[in-house]
C-alpha cells in the first residue's frame, strides 16, 4: 500500500477560505460619550474591587489579619468581562446588583469606627459613580440604536 503522491493543484480547502474583507468594512469608531461612560464604568468597578479587598484584608478588617468578608469582591469580578466586551445586558444587571454594595456601605458608614466608616463612604461614592456610568451608557447606546433604526427606515 503506497501513499498518494502530492498533487500540484491547490487543495479544495484552500480555495474555500474567503478573502479578507476590505478596509471599508471595518467597524466604525464608537461614539466618544459611549466610550467615556464605558471606561468610567470599568474604572469605577476596578476601584470598587480594589477597595473591597484592601478594606477587608489590610486597611480596616473586622478581625486582625483579615476577614472572610474580602470574598465580597469576587462577585464584582464577574461583570468585568462583560463590560470589556461591550455587552449591554451586563451594564443593566450590574446597575441593579451593585445596590447591595451601596447598602453595605451605608450601613457600615453609620456603624463602623474610623477608618472603616470612611472606607464605607468611599464604597458608597464608587457605587453611585458606577450606577451613573452604567445608566448613562445604556441610555446613550439605546438612543444611538433608535437613531440608526430611524435612519434606515427613511
Residue 40: the pLDDT is 98
24: confidence class by pLDDT, cuts 50, 70, 90? very low
**For residue 87, which phi and psi values (nearest 5 degrees)?**
-85, 115
Task: Give the Cα separation of 76 and 1 in Å (integer).
Answer: 62
- For 55-111, what is each residue's pLDDT tens digit? 999 999 988 888 899 999 999 999 999 999 999 999 999 999 999 999 999 999 999
Q: What is the dihedral of CA 32, 82, 85, 28, to 10 degrees?
A: -40
**Residue % of the chain over a pLDDT of 90:** 71
- For 110-124, what is each residue's pLDDT tens digit? 999 999 999 999 999
Distances (CA, A) of 95 to 51, 91, 132, 133, 147: 18, 6, 8, 9, 24
**Residue % of the chain over a pLDDT of 70:** 81
- Whether the per-residue pLDDT at 27 is higher than 70: the answer is no
Q: What is the pTM of this model?
A: 0.78
One-character DSSP codes across 27-56: PPPPPHHHHHHHHHHHHHHHHHHHHHHHII
Average pLDDT of the chain is 87
Residue 154: the pLDDT is 64
Amino acid at each position: 500500500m503506497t501513499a498518494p503522491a502530492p498533487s500540484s493543484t491547490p487543495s479544495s480547502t484552500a480555495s474555500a477560505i474567503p478573502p479578507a474583507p476590505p478596509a471599508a468594512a471595518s467597524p466604525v469608531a464608537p461614539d466618544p460619550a459611549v466610550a467615556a461612560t464605558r471606561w468610567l464604568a470599568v474604572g469605577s468597578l476596578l476601584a470598587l474591587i480594589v477597595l473591597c479587598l484592601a478594606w477587608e484584608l489590610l486597611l480596616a478588617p473586622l478581625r486582625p489579619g483579615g476577614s472572610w468578608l474580602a470574598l465580597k469582591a469576587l462577585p464584582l469580578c464577574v461583570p468585568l468581562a462583560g463590560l470589556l466586551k461591550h455587552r449591554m445586558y451586563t451594564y443593566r444587571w450590574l446597575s441593579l446588583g451593585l445596590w447591595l454594595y451601596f447598602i453595605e456601605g451605608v450601613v457600615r458608614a453609620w456603624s463602623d469606627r474610623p477608618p472603616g466608616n470612611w472606607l464605607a463612604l468611599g464604597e458608597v461614592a464608587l457605587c453611585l459613580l458606577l450606577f451613573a456610568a452604567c445608566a448613562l451608557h445604556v441610555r446613550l447606546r439605546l438612543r444611538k440604536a433608535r437613531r440608526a433604526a430611524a435612519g434606515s427606515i427613511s
